[in-house]
Structure 1
Amino acid sequence: MNHLVTARPIDAIAIVGPTACGKTAAALALAESLQDQGGAEIISMDSALVYQGMDIGTAKPSRLERAAVQHHLIDILDPSLSYSAADFARDATALISDIRARGKTPLLVGGTMLYLKALLEGLNDMPAANPDIRAQIQRQAQDLGWPAMHARLAQVDASAAARLAPGDSQRIGRALEVWMATGQTLTAFHHSAKRQPPDWHIPTISLEPTERAWLHGRIAQRFDDMMAAGFMDEMRRLRQRGDLNPDLPSMRCVGYRQAWEGLDAGWPDSRVRELGVVATRQLAKRQITWLRSMPQRHVVAVDGAPDPLKRVLDWAQEFLRS
């Protein structure tokens, strides 16, 4: 997209892209470049970074990076808890207002695209999580298995069941929870009217590779760096708490899920690394597919371009001038 049209001042700038494409570095550089324009603060848009104690496997920004630029929505939740897109939309809305009131530019940075969608478009008025019903479903699943729970879902919400694999415990459990808590299907909630979000003006810069091999190499290197930094020891510490399980959203994060399975099965670290890299590639593919459905994004090629970071900074300045 070469022509930029803006009707009013921006509320924030979003920096998105698949995992391992350099979003953190770009956001830090952009924040530094805005120091003489009031400065900037980063709102993390990553569903894994919210969790405390999950530092290595999430490639969380370092303490030095967070000291250089104020970050939000990092380390805000214990891994035993869950954080939804609706939670993000609520928290990010308040943060954008607060950051702008202090004369700074909010930077929404991350690859959890559902979070951005929830903020920009609003969400259906979904019921809140019900811990008692969720625990009941977990107990039934332990006795019957998730394929049987999937068959049960098919009886009450055939459309939802058709979208889900029989082993997708997290989504099957949520669909059954909604049905048991409200008597309405998840599909019915999806078709209901959305709560309207504020009339945001948030231009989106998308960092995207032109060659898949480039991103695959970055993903493999990142996983190797995580393993060298002690990722498996981090996973062991989390398991030793005794209150976590592999069906929690935190433990289903890419890398953590494979590490948990590996420790259960006694795999060598090389096997965890192999499956973790594959799962991360699959995540990146889903992220790219989602990004390509956003025609309003401003794409910056991160591989082969002469200076992708300069392009990010140029786009940002153009947004701010309009």
Structure 2
Amino acid sequence: MTGAAGRPPAVFLMGPTASGKTDLAVALAGRFPFELISVDSALVYRGMDIGTAKPDAATLAACPHHLVDVVDPTERYSAGRFRSDALALMAEIGARGRIPLLVGGTMLYFKALKDGLGAALPEADPDLRAELEARAAVSGWPALHAELAGFDPVAAARIKANDSQRIQRAIEVYRLTGRPLSELLDQPAQALPYRLIELAVQPPERAVLHERINRRFRMMLEAGLVDELRRLRAGYALDPALPAMRSVGYRQAWQFLEGEIDAAGLYETGAAATRQLAKRQITWLRSWQGARHFDSTRPDLVEAVSAWLAERLSE
């Protein structure tokens, strides 16, 4: 199935956390020749099931999701790696005569896939990263941020002084390539070789989404989020600076285990952080060009989206 200029279709299904994206994607996969690719920076981690609202085993067996459980929580997974992995999977799905449906809420990953990341960036260098982490342990990440500003002021202006992951990556890229990260990212990328069909779902009332978020985070706690983190800490050499452990929910559960907050604080800060995440996702979606927006609370959502998709896929 091909469309404009012979390009095969690919579907983006976007939306804030707790908006019902997964249920909709699974329903659509039962109606169209879709294969699902997860676009979620937390679902990539093995063992992080409760706090990521990972689809259960029965759902994954009936409707497999690519890019779920692909790395250990001690590893780092970047937007660049996502783009590479997603493009390879999309080609494989197309070769099987099926259509990739990319579903999730990590808007940076969607943007990286759609718009590219500029010039090819170097792979992570473990030795260099260890050196930078050791320096930060002594002088602090703000000091390394100041160093970054000396050779890449554009990147430094975009990165907060305590954002260890992005500071580390920007310095790493400069040390490995001799060129500022901002310069490399600004280079044009190869166009995505797909005809994109983009949609977004969310409740029209923010209060509805907030109630869903609060209820879901409470259910995560009742399902054993804290015990899940205990198991992860026993099975892996984790620390709170790892991207996996900075994920919403796990960061707050870590603070609880360290005695920094009590049970009430865990719920309040975790739910609040999730609401802030949803707010950022909605801000992305407001500026996203080309997406058709649907009310995720409408009772005929699956039928409405299916009808719209059928028209787009036939073009």
TM-score for the superposition, normalised by structure 2: 0.93
Distance 2:5 2:215 in 1: 42
Distance 1:24 1:30 in 2: 10
Distance 2:17 2:290 in 1: 20
Structure 2 match to 1:27 = 25
Structure 2 match to 1:312 = 305
Q: Name the aligned partner's letter for residue 303 of structure 2.
A: K
Deviations 1:189-219 (A, max 9, x none): 222x233044211201100221111111111
Where do 1:263-282 residues align within 5 Å? 263-282=257-276
Distance 2:289 2:184 in 1: 27
Structure 2 match to 1:172 = 167
| C-alpha contact 1:11 1:96 (8 A) present in aligned 2 | no
Where do 1:5-24 residues align within 5 Å? 10-24=8-22
Q: Name the aligned partner's letter for residue 91 of structure 2.
A: S
**Structure 1 runs (4+) greater than 6 angstroms displaced:** none
Distance 1:29 1:204 in 2: 17
Q: Tell me the SS of whatever aligns to 2:101.
A: strand
Alignment pair present for 1:47 and 2:41: yes
Question: Gaps (5+ residues) in structure 1?
Answer: none
Deviations 1:258-299 (A, max 9, x none): 222232234222212211111111111111111111220011
Q: Name the aligned partner's letter for residue 185 of structure 1.
A: P
Deviations 1:28-72 (A, max 9, x none): 1101122xxxx3221111111111010000000111101111221
Q: Name the aligned partner's letter for residue 204 of structure 2.
A: T
Structure 2 match to 1:205 = 199
Distance 2:7 2:165 in 1: 40
Q: Name the aligned partner's letter for residue 302 of structure 2.
A: L
| C-alpha contact 1:120 1:200 (8 A) present in aligned 2 | no
Q: Tell me the SS of whatever aligns to 2:40.
A: coil
Where do 1:216-231 residues align within 5 Å? 216-231=210-225
Q: Tell me the SS of whatever aligns to 2:196.
A: coil
Distance 1:97 1:151 in 2: 42
Distance 1:66 1:307 in 2: 24
* Residue 235 (structure 1) shift: 0.9
| C-alpha contact 1:154 1:160 (8 A) present in aligned 2 | yes
| C-alpha contact 1:208 1:301 (8 A) present in aligned 2 | yes
Q: Tell me the SS of whatever aligns to 2:155.
A: helix
Deviations 1:147-189 (A, max 9, x none): 2222222223222222222221111221222222222222222
* Residue 320 (structure 1) shift: 2.2
Count residues with an aligned counterpart. Answer: 312
Distance 1:32 1:204 in 2: 19
TM-score for the superposition, normalised by structure 1: 0.91
Structure 1 match to 2:63 = 69
Structure 2 match to 1:79 = 73
Q: Name the aligned partner's letter for residue 31 of structure 2.
A: S
Deviates more, 1:280-289 or 1:146-155: 146-155
Alignment pair present for 1:321 and 2:314: yes
Q: Tell me the SS of whatever aligns to 1:206.
A: strand
Distance 1:65 1:284 in 2: 24
Deviations 1:117-162 (A, max 9, x none): 2222221222221111111111111111222222222223222222
Distance 1:7 1:236 in 2: 52
Alignment pair present for 1:128 and 2:126: no
| C-alpha contact 2:74 2:236 (8 A) present in aligned 1 | no
Deviations 1:70-96 (A, max 9, x none): 221111111111122222222212212
Q: Name the aligned partner's letter for residue 114 of structure 1.
A: L
Where do 1:132-211 residues align within 5 Å? 132-191=127-186, 193-211=187-205
Distance 2:85 2:271 in 1: 31
